[in-house]
Structure 1
Amino acid sequence: MTDVSIAPTALVTGASSGIGAVYAERLAARGHDLLLVARDRQRLEALAADLQARHGVNVEVLPADLAQPADLARVEQRLRDDADIGVLVNNAGIAMHGTLAEATGQQIDALVALNIVAVTRLASAAAARFTQAGRGTIINLASVVALAPQMFNAVYSASKAYVLSLTQTLHGELSDKGVKVQAVLPGVTRTEIWERSGLDVAQIDPRMVMEVGEMVDAALAGLDQQEVVTIPSLPDAADWQAYIKARDALGPNLSRSSAAARYK
């Protein structure tokens, strides 16, 4: 059995391309065995063979569509049962182009199923297993649109705000149980998600677009620095702390026995 105190197995969702594939490569380079989850078996197997050859780690593939309840349940159960898994990279997600009014019910359901339901179910399973072990790491991929929803459409932005909130709450629940939790908030990152959502990343100001390797390296550096929230493009961490301080200042007045005088 893997000694999880050294380099536990990492389960990476959405691992066949983009951010997930780079996380898999970087974690393999750090000595982690891998369990790679995505829909595309062929791409997963090609990645697994490459990582095993280059880094000498064990890589297992688990093809699954996490938007499908049966597939999600299989991956969730594996997380609950496999004591070798000590890292979850909750990366799988989709974007959607257009306004909420233009979206179909099917599009909305698909995004919520993957970006919210699957992320939550897998985080819950990991939290249960890692708490029992007294160690583990949960990395949830959110987005800067969690903080600036006007940058993108309603459903996607709201789903990433949910992931940020989920992660911050999980940190409060798990920080004294030996479990690390991190939300990663990338800006525009050059991956296939843009093409799949019907957008052309080439039309975006190149000064706003980060290469995926740079983004993941920054995210892992933030994890090493014990950050709960990592924004790879943010130059000054004090800006995030000021944001949190301003939010916390609202606390004493968020729930009171009477309405504010300005409403009377």
Structure 2
Amino acid sequence: MTTSPTVLITGASSGIGATYAERFARRGHDLVLVARDKARLDALAQRLQEENGVKVDVLQADLTQSADLAVVEARLRDDARIGILINNAGMAQTGSFVQQTGDGIERLIALNTTAPARLAAAVAPRFAQAGTGAIVNIGSVVGFAPEFGMSIYGATKAFVLFLSQGLSVELSSKGVYVQAVLPAATRTEIWQRSGMDVNALPEVMEVGELVDAALIGFDRRELVTIPPLHAPVRWDALDGARQGLLSDIRQAHAAERYQPQR
């Protein structure tokens, strides 16, 4: 009998993380839920255990704090039952770039980039040695769109996509699956926490629909899943153009247009 791997989910107390927890619990996976709000984690854990008969551990942690992050890293390194990491914890940007503070920038980058990179780095060696495992990184379509005016947030989500693609290149041959999930606006508490009214946005996806779509991509072993994208050829064209650049940028000399005029 094959035992389903335990799933560790960050940002699991609400929204996308909590919905991932519900969906994996229904599939019969034990869970490790990570977030700051222990009361909400405990309530979710109790409900999922009662409804699905799975084991759910709660790990209270603020992933912007090095000591808390180290605890989660240790769990990922040492708990051989964990076979899936969902890097979901994140925060949005409040205000334009000129309104940002140094502390705010540092916190946003710590949660949106440093934490997922460190957690992936903690578990990847074990997954590679075992020849199996999955890392799911939640990014955003904002990482494609500087026009949206969320420069710091968008930059962190562009990092998440690049990190996922790079890890896939390095780890896929070792049996490790890496998926980047890129939502558009989704109805979660991230908007309220950033001081924005989600109801003022013109088009918002419900969180259940988002996670269900992401899991279809997960089951298909897609490398990049963009639930709101109705025309996948657009992503194929973008990624194909990017790959087409590779031979052009490996040059020993500057392009002719940058050569001094003689």
**Normalised TM-score (structure 2):** 0.97
Determine the structure 1 residue equivalent to 2:240.
Answer: 245
- Does residue 256 of the first structure (1) align with residue 260 of the second (2)? no
Q: CA deviation at 1:246?
A: 1.0
What does 1:54-65 correspond to in 2, within 5 Å?
A: 54-65=51-62
- Does residue 99 of the first structure (1) align with residue 72 of the second (2)? no
Q: CA deviation at 1:247?
A: 1.0
Letter in 1 for 2:132: R
Determine the structure 1 residue equivalent to 2:215.
Answer: 220
Q: CA RMSD in A?
A: 1.0
- Asked whether the equivalents of residues 35 and 59 of structure 1 are also in contact (C-alpha less than 8 Å), the reply is yes
Deviating more after overlay: 57-66 vs 236-245: 236-245
- Does residue 203 of the first structure (1) align with residue 184 of the second (2)? no
Q: CA deviation at 1:15?
A: 0.2
Determine the structure 2 residue equivalent to 1:40.
Answer: 37
Q: CA deviation at 1:226?
A: 1.1
Q: CA deviation at 1:237?
A: 2.1
CA distance, structure 2, for counterparts of residue 250 and residue 73 of structure 1: 38
Q: CA deviation at 1:144?
A: 0.3
Which of 47, 52, 67 is matched with 2:64 structurally? 67
CA distance, structure 2, for counterparts of residue 62 and residue 13 of structure 1: 9
Aligned to 1:86, the other structure's residue is in SS state: strand
Letter in 2 for 1:83: A
Letter in 2 for 1:77: A
Determine the structure 2 residue equivalent to 1:188.
Answer: 185
Aligned to 1:188, the other structure's residue is in SS state: coil
Letter in 2 for 1:60: D
Q: CA deviation at 1:243?
A: 1.1
Aligned to 2:42, the other structure's residue is in SS state: helix
TM-aligned CA distance change 1:152 to 1:191, over 3 Å: farther
Letter in 2 for 1:172: V
Letter in 2 for 1:251: L
**Normalised TM-score (structure 1):** 0.96
What percentage of aligned pairs have identical amino acids? 58
Letter in 1 for 2:26: A
CA distance, structure 1, for counterparts of residue 7 and residue 153 of structure 2: 26
CA distance, structure 1, for counterparts of residue 74 and residue 42 of structure 2: 22
Structure 1 stretches of 4+ with a deviation exceeding 6 A read none
Aligned to 2:137, the other structure's residue is in SS state: strand
Ranges in structure 1 where 5+ consecutive residues have no aligned partner: none
CA distance, structure 2, for counterparts of residue 24 and residue 64 of structure 1: 17
Q: CA deviation at 1:146?
A: 1.2
Q: How many residues align?
A: 259
- Does residue 49 of the first structure (1) align with residue 46 of the second (2)? yes
Q: CA deviation at 1:7?
A: 1.0
